[in-house]
Structure 1
Amino acid sequence: MTPLNLMKLLADDTRLSSVMLLLNGPLCVCDLMEALQESQPKVSRHLALLREGGLVESEKRGQWVYYSLARELPAWVIKTLTQLLPEWRAQAGAAAELRKGGQLNCC
């Protein structure tokens, strides 16, 4: 992961918000759809880009796929994301609040 690659991955609001939500732990696509108020195909497409870029990883649990930050991320990436989190929360509103309440009952 290079700084340029990280910034390219975070340059889209859907991808940035997804990553910020995943800082709190794994989520399934339905959780992210609800938080982001986006369709399943759009959320899945952006998660695929994040996975291909090495920022997130997925795990299939039954019929659901859960996404989390990649375990092998360099420390500087985690530090950068953590530093962005308060500003993102201030601007994200409802999406940030949904995650604080936990996962949805869809999975």
Structure 2
Amino acid sequence: MSDVPQILAALAEPTRLRAMQIVWRGGEHCVCDLMCALGATQSRMSRHMGVLKSAGLVIDRRDAQWVRYRRNPDAPQTVIRIVDAALAALEKPRRRAA
């Protein structure tokens, strides 16, 4: 069974959630690309991706000096549903209070 609190904690940080939004669409993403897209330093982005990896959401592959990340293809269906729900909530426009 998945560690739901760990997954939710990993997704609760805005930079990590936005990184998941990019990675979850598919393909491999170099830390350098994520840095540029999210305005984060290399060390900060690497730490964020380490948290996502520890939660079982992404896997990595070393490519010379960079690390490339992709969606974990072995993630259980429960994990996929949690991430899909978090990303769907992120993409919904916020309603303004009247």
Question: TM-score normalised by the shorter chain: which range applies?
Answer: 0.7 to 0.9
**Relative contact order (alpha carbons < 8 A, sep ≥ 6): 1 or 2 greater?**
1
Which stretch shifts more, 34-43 or 81-90?
A: 81-90
Aligned to 1:38: 40
Match status 1:85 vs 2:87:
yes
How far, CA to CA, are the matches of 1:69 and 1:77 in structure 2? 11
Q: Normalising to structure 1: TM-score of the pair? A: 0.73
How many residue pairs align between the two structures? 91
Letter of the structure 2 residue corresponding to residue 5 of structure 1: Q
User: Whose Rg is larger?
Assistant: 2
Q: Does 1:11 align with 2:12?
A: yes
1:54-88 alpha-carbon deviations (Å, 9 max, x no partner): 22110123333210122221112212222332432
The unaligned stretches of length 5 or more in structure 2 are: 94-98
CA RMSD of aligned residues (A): 1.8
Structure 1 residues not aligned, in runs of 5+: 92-107
AA at the equivalent of 2:11: L
Structure 1: distance between partners of 2:92 and 2:56? 27
**1:43 CA displacement:** 0.3
